């Protein structure tokens, strides 16, 4: 089989080809808010994410009509109805495929996928990994509440082993996915994790995700107050887990040494990540090592293995430890740019009207004429 070296479209930002609002025009969160009543349960983490997105979109500076939100099925997938942009609430698990069609067809659209742990990782797992592999220019927001909410409380593919739910009265025996590990394994070019209640961090991650050209994958820890309340209390330092936040969150900042726990005056936490002699990433007491041994976070590392190793530090059971931030952000040609380039190159090489070229096409080859 033959392979061809494809021309690489020049590096661009995620929003470069999308029409911006006219100079001097500022948009407001209100303009991005639809007239539809929001119907999530009181206290749902989705409200916070919606507020953050509605607050963030005006800052993107893109024309509202050029923004498209696509979702699947599940609580979080009602999201598009609440934004006054173009949107489609599609079918279970398939949002990445529909968004792939939209993003490939049109370079001038900012495409967002809103999905949940069941939608993206269970029924739609195939579409998710292939979207990440292709690196289509879009942002996928995965609301992970580690439970099925809309179907009323069954375990999800991110629920911990042993979890007692309606469908697992004596405990789940399903081994969960770590969404970030999965995305890194699928060679996603942008992988981040953030938290519904940390609006500042969430907004910063959204901005970075939108600016990235390619598929940006953002896992958002999102509390379900009805069926899985408190799943992220340790991460948030709430409820029975007050004060645990410093040791539960491992913040990732590109170019910074990775430490957590109680911070000293220089900002270094009393726990740090180091690469062990065997090459593993391990948690150690910062006091036991010299500062130059601390692993410095490199989100731009072309090799995803360190990012993957960091993702494995996420607690598998009750979530009392999790790296938060941008794990990986690398440049890689996008599927849609290259697919469009093949079409536009072919179009540029031909002359004449489409009708004339079509006539020539269907008359090509062995023909005969009867008078």
Partner 1 sequence: MLREVDRDVSQTKQVKQLDRVIIRFAGDSGDGMQLTGDRFTQESAVFGNDLVTLPNFPAEIRAPQGTLPGVSSFQIHFADHDILTAGDRPDVLVAMNPAALKANLGDLPKGAAIIVDTADFTKRNLDKAGYDTNPLDQLGEVNDPLADFQVHPVDLTGITVEAVKEWGLSRKDASRAKNMFALGLLSWMYGRPTEPTVKFLEKKFSKVPDILGANLAAFKAGWNFGETTETFVVQYEIKPAKMNAGTYRNITGNLALSYGLVAAGVRSGLPVFLGSYPITPASDILHELSRHKSFGVTTLQAEDEIAGVGAAIGASFAGHLGVTTTSGPGIALKGEAIGLAVMTELPLVVINVQRGGPSTGLPTKTEQSDLLQAMYGRNGEAPIPIVAPQSPGDCFAAAVEAARIAVTYRTPVMLLSDGYLANGSEPWAIPSIDDLPAIDPNFATAPNHTSKKSADGEPDEFWPYLRNEETLARPWAIPGTAGLEHRIGGLEKGEGHGNISYDSVNHDRMVRIRQEKIKRIADSLPPLEIDDPSGEAKVLVIGWGSTYGPIGAACRRVRRAGYNVAQVHLRHLNPFPNDLGAILKSYDKVLVPEMNLGQLSKMLRAEYLVDAIGYNHVYGLPLKAAELAEAVGALVGEAEGKGVDLGEHGLNPPADHEEAPLS
Positions 113 through 132 that interact with partner 1 (CB under 8 A): 126-127, 130
Number of other residues whose CB lies within 10 A of the CB of residue 257? 19
Q: Does 12 bind partner 1 (CB under 8 A)?
A: no
Q: Does 368 bind partner 1 (CB under 8 A)?
A: yes
Residues 6+ apart with CB under 8 A from 325: 192, 193, 194, 201, 205, 251, 252, 253, 297
Half-sphere exposure of 209 (CA within 13 A, CB side): 33
- With respect to partner 1, which residue has the nearer C-beta, 1 or 354? 354
- With respect to partner 1, which residue has the nearer C-beta, 119 or 233? 119
Tell me how far apart the alpha carbons of residues 355 and 361 are, in angstroms, rounded to a whole number.
10
41-57 exposure pattern, b = at least 16 Cβ within 10 A, e = fewer = eeebbbbbbbebbbbbb
- With respect to partner 1, which residue has the nearer C-beta, 107 or 246? 107
Whether residue 219 contacts residue 76, with contact meaning beta carbons closer than 8 Å, is answered with no
Gyration radius of the chain's alpha carbons: 23
Q: Which of 13, 28, 36, 291 binds partner 1 (CB under 8 A)?
A: 36
Q: Does 339 bind partner 1 (CB under 8 A)?
A: yes
- β-pairing, 190-195 vs 322-329, is antiparallel
Q: Does 54 bind partner 1 (CB under 8 A)?
A: no
Residue found by looking up tokens 């911006």 in the block = 20
- With respect to partner 1, which residue has the nearer C-beta, 86 or 318? 86
The 63-102 contact track toward partner 1, x by CB under 8 A, reads: xxxxxx-xx-x------xx-xxxxxxxxxx-x--xxxxxx
Q: Does 135 bind partner 1 (CB under 8 A)?
A: no
Q: Which of 34, 256, 293, 338 binds partner 1 (CB under 8 A)?
A: 34
- With respect to partner 1, which residue has the nearer C-beta, 35 or 265? 35
Minimum CB distance to partner 1, residue 63 (Å): 7
Give 36's DSSP letter. S
List residues binding partner 1 (CB under 8 A): 19, 34, 36, 63-68, 70-71, 73, 80-81, 83-92, 94, 97-106, 108-109, 126-127, 130, 339-340, 342-343, 345-347, 349-350, 354-355, 357-359, 361-363, 365-371
């Amino acid at each position: 089989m033959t392979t061809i070296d494809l021309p690489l479209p020049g590096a661009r930002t995620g929003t470069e080809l999308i029409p911006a609002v006219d100079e001097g025009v500022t948009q407001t969160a209100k303009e991005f808010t639809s007239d539809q009543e929001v119907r999530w349960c009181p206290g749902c983490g989705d409200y916070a994410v919606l507020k953050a997105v509605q607050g963030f979109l005006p800052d993107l500076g893109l024309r509202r009509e050029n923004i498209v939100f696509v979702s699947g099925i599940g609580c979080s997938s009602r999201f598009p109805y609440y934004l006054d942009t173009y949107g489609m609430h599609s079918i279970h698990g398939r949002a990445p495929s529909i968004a792939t069609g939209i993003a490939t067809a049109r370079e001038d659209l900012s495409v967002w996928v809103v999905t949940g742990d069941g939608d993206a990782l269970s029924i739609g797992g195939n579409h998710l990994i292939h979207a990440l592999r292709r690196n289509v220019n879009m942002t996928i927001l995965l609301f992970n509440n580690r439970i099925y909410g809309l179907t009323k409380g069954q375990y999800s593919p991110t629920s911990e082993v042993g979890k007692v739910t309606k469908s697992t009265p004596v405990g789940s025996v399903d081994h969960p996915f770590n969404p970030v590990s999965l995305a890194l394994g699928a060679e996603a070019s942008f992988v981040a994790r953030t938290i519904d209640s940390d609006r500042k961090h969430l907004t910063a991650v959204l901005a970075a995700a939108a600016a990235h050209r390619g598929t940006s994958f953002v896992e958002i820890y999102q509390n379900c107050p009805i069926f899985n309340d408190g799943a992220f209390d340790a991460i948030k330092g709430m409820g029975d887990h007050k004060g645990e936040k410093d040791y539960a969150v491992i913040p990732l900042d590109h170019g910074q040494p990775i430490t957590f726990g109680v911070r000293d005056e220089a900002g270094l936490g009393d726990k740090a990540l180091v690469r062990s002699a065997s090459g593993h990433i391990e948690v150690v007491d910062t006091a036991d090592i010299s500062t130059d041994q601390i692993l410095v976070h490199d989100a731009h590392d072309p090799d995803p293995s360190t990012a993957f190793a960091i993702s494995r530090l996420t607690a598998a059971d009750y979530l009392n430890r999790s790296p938060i931030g941008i794990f990986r952000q690398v440049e890689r040609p996008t599927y849609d740019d290259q697919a469009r380039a093949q079409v536009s190159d072919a179009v540029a090489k031909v002359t004449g009207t489409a009708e004339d070229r079509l006539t020539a096409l269907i008359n090509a080859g062995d023909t005969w004429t009867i008078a």
